[in-house]
Structure 1
């Protein structure tokens, strides 16, 4: 499976395939995955809305079983290893942590579901593995014991289904597929089952960086690396003789800073290999592969994953890692502010034993001349003022991504340096007044972008100087204090910055005007706009 890819938000969508942000899967998607160097595919499947009868038979719709088998065949016909699971059922009807949970019925239904899946896929060969349940909720030792019991029920069900299932590889789980809870409470399956088995867990850490929480846009300090290494080592040290697979992990281009993302992914891949752990990238259809256009949103990231999986060293860009910093720099970009003089720009890199072979304009593949367009010194690359002038001067004050320079190294991934001209974006309005009587909805603030077309962070400060949400962030580094969280609290689209309904409600509850400072890349003094929500 190393490296593997998840067909996310598709067969696992609620209530059925196509309900979320992706159309029904087509076979050509797996051609794209194979071309990118992936070796395995995890197929998350939600079954909850496809039962045609209740207790005791819990029959699953034959058409849905056939659809899952058809997709499994798309995968295996291309030589992939695969993992088929039971996905969002974990919270739809299998939440064992609820005080009202009918454990007896859950166990009955779970057995019947896996008996039917096992029967349908009984004759699939050794490249098809099963995973009993995705991220089942729980927080106590009692929950851990129940998950262990469910692992055995799952094994019994597929064994009873016959075919190849008694020999099939399975990836057993702990509570939440969380490494810490798994280490605490996971017990080995009953010895009567002879299936080769691994433990699957998921890794989305550090939470604030991976999910864009509280303004965290840096990664790569010695402490960051030590924390990741420790996380992976602890579970490995608890299960020294058991295969481990991280069935979900991510470093999404939608909300992580580019240079930090590339370094995180490279380090994660190598740490996983250090601890003999396979990894399966989570891709919800918006993070990595644009399935409609067959294009990867971050080609460098895919190149880094492919090379790291093969043990090949990647050169990597530097970026700010100091938590006390008041601005953030990145060697994935040449940032030039519109209407300012054009000067030479020096960017530091980590060559990691490689040498820079060439530089060229990515769009035309026009080679740059060393000594004229760029120079190197140690592990820095300097783009000359004349070269940058030739790129930037013809566009005048226009902002946005102007060109990409491909840096080719003696080994590993080619890196892209984006030459980007920016200014401070403008909002269509700078304030509005809340209606106390109207139920809160998402607030769309029109914006005219002027550079990298996404915010870096949003800071929310009440009229009394306090922070609207998560007041404890006052103890975080300067670039995180008072910032709210991407996705659940703020978002953006092509034309708007979006304050989520929950944030509007928070302003109502606070009962005072709140200023939202929308910050952009590069994160530097003054590169932001402010919007006031009045009560």
Structure 2
């Protein structure tokens, strides 16, 4: 099979059989495939995951039915994206609608909309942010049609849309990631099989456009992006011609009564207070009765075992909890506010500890049931406390050779001596107590410089800092040079000789991004 510019490799030829069934419903929009282009695409899914501690959603905007501003937010501006970057985020997720901008007979997407989305993506890349671009709810043409009766038609539209999206954004480097869908509604094995065909069409279609898309990291969603349903129903990932370039996506709004519920129902009431240390002694009927810290740890451990421990990063594409601004001022509101900040902090912290990429869901709303962090009209921070809670949870964690009490304070979820985040980048299998990485090998060279050799499982090269203290209270960052002794060992060498006049304590740290 030969296209205009090049002959497709055998691996891509194999895609043909999976795509032919959808070709007859809409025109072919992959009319100018390019040769695979590896420039700017060197990072795998795991390497990209190691660079994202905290992401942010442009919620209720590009996916809004009726247009970008239809749900009350202004158009996305470059100033807003610069503010997001300056506030400490590493990545932006762009929930996006396409079907309302497409010809319903031909599935051709309006060129002006493609260019508008491209402008927003460029804002993010100019701010040195990673970007995840998806097909969101989009009226439900995919997410509410996961049945064998509609499978062929949905696959045809999935193919037509991704041919156009992938081609239009093909020039962007590996900081742009594509996501197949949002929250596909799957309840059983038969529907799961249909969903997997949609994901397979997405992957095959993007790869077939060539260029940088031949290597782009792609994201596929579990059923309803629910951790338990995904564990039960999703027993494999789709097939990809390129190894190590897929992520799985899950969302976290547990418990619903606290995170999203806006009015009491016959089956349950809203929770105002979440977390074992944040329950009310006076407003007890609003305390969370399920879905608190222990539940989160159990669910995150499940997802970690299913994906992260097998080398598949998990994009926690949405999480958050509303701040109920309509509650009267007073002790109850203050406790609710602190409880909500604890939720944001805890989810973010545990997501990072389990190897997930947490993306906060921000609708832009600063009153009522508020989830906005920024005032998008004036491009200033609108919820400093919520932002601080997220940033505190996203702080890089580290291992240090400190006192026993300080080691206890740094204990991790699997119980060995290295912090999970540290293990994820440079240590061992963070899921196993037995998989204890070798402690850093320490020596002093002939010039009096400290040399540390650290076991490493990630190709990350310079993601470590060496800190020194003479009293375990005040710490200073020592300039170091890094190189690779082998594929599994990272060597750090202090630039200057060490003083022998005083005691020295050292710690390794993953730097703040």
Q: TM-score, normalised by structure 2?
A: 0.58
2:57 is equivalent to residue 6 of structure 1: yes
Equivalent residue for 2:274, pick from 196, 204, 219: 219
Equivalent residue for 2:314, pick from 204, 223, 244: 244
CA contact (8 A) 2:204 2:240 kept: no
Question: What's the counterpart of residue 445 of structure 2?
Answer: none
Question: What's the counterpart of residue 361 of structure 2?
Answer: 282
CA contact (8 A) 1:129 1:169 kept: yes
Separation (CA, whole Å) in 1 of partners of 2:56 and 2:240: 31
**Alpha-carbon distance change, 152 to 312 in structure 1, aligned in 2, over 3 angstroms:** closer
Equivalent residue for 2:388, pick from 296, 303, 325: 303
Separation (CA, whole Å) in 2 of partners of 1:61 and 1:174: 29
The Cα of 1:305 is off from its aligned counterpart by 1.4
Which runs of structure 2 are paired with 1:109-258 in the superposition (5 Å)? 109-186=157-234, 187-194=236-243, 196-212=245-261, 214-221=269-276, 224-239=292-307, 240-241=309-310, 242-254=312-324, 257-258=336-337
CA contact (8 A) 1:39 1:80 kept: yes
CA offsets 1:43-78 (integer angstroms, 9 cap, x no match): 110111111252xx4211111111111111011011
Secondary structure at 2:324's aligned position in 1?
A: coil
CA contact (8 A) 1:52 1:59 kept: yes
Runs of 4+ in 1 over 4 A off after TM superposition: none
**When the two structures are aligned, how many residues end up with a matched partner?**
315
Equivalent residue for 1:50, pick from 93, 101, 108: 101
Separation (CA, whole Å) in 1 of partners of 2:317 and 2:112: 27
**Alpha-carbon distance change, 10 to 31 in structure 1, aligned in 2, over 3 angstroms:** same
The Cα of 1:304 is off from its aligned counterpart by 2.1
The Cα of 1:114 is off from its aligned counterpart by 0.5
- Tell me which protein shows more strand as a share of its residues: 1
Separation (CA, whole Å) in 2 of partners of 1:215 and 1:183: 27
Secondary structure at 1:303's aligned position in 2?
A: helix
CA contact (8 A) 1:84 1:129 kept: yes
CA offsets 1:71-109 (integer angstroms, 9 cap, x no match): 11011011000100000126145422468x522111101
**Alpha-carbon distance change, 237 to 312 in structure 1, aligned in 2, over 3 angstroms:** closer
Separation (CA, whole Å) in 2 of partners of 1:42 and 1:130: 10
Separation (CA, whole Å) in 1 of partners of 2:386 and 2:301: 24
Gaps of 5+ in 2: 1-51, 278-289, 326-332, 366-370, 399-407, 410-472, 475-513
Separation (CA, whole Å) in 2 of partners of 1:192 and 1:299: 44
**Alpha-carbon distance change, 92 to 209 in structure 1, aligned in 2, over 3 angstroms:** same
Separation (CA, whole Å) in 2 of partners of 1:312 and 1:298: 25
Secondary structure at 1:269's aligned position in 2?
A: helix
**Alpha-carbon distance change, 195 to 154 in structure 1, aligned in 2, over 3 angstroms:** farther
Question: What's the counterpart of residue 83 of structure 2?
Answer: 32
Separation (CA, whole Å) in 2 of partners of 1:84 and 1:259: 32
Secondary structure at 1:215's aligned position in 2?
A: coil
Gaps of 5+ in 1: 314-351, 354-409, 412-535
Cα-Cα RMSD: 2.5
2:121 is equivalent to residue 72 of structure 1: yes
Question: What's the counterpart of residue 502 of structure 1?
Answer: none
CA contact (8 A) 2:301 2:354 kept: yes
CA offsets 1:179-227 (integer angstroms, 9 cap, x no match): 1222222221214344611111111011111124513111111872111
Q: TM-score, normalised by structure 1?
A: 0.56
CA offsets 1:407-442 (integer angstroms, 9 cap, x no match): xxx99xxxxxxxxxxxxxxxxxxxxxxxxxxxxxxx
Question: What's the counterpart of residue 104 of structure 1?
Answer: 152
Separation (CA, whole Å) in 2 of partners of 1:53 and 1:215: 41
CA contact (8 A) 2:215 2:242 kept: no
The Cα of 1:178 is off from its aligned counterpart by 1.5
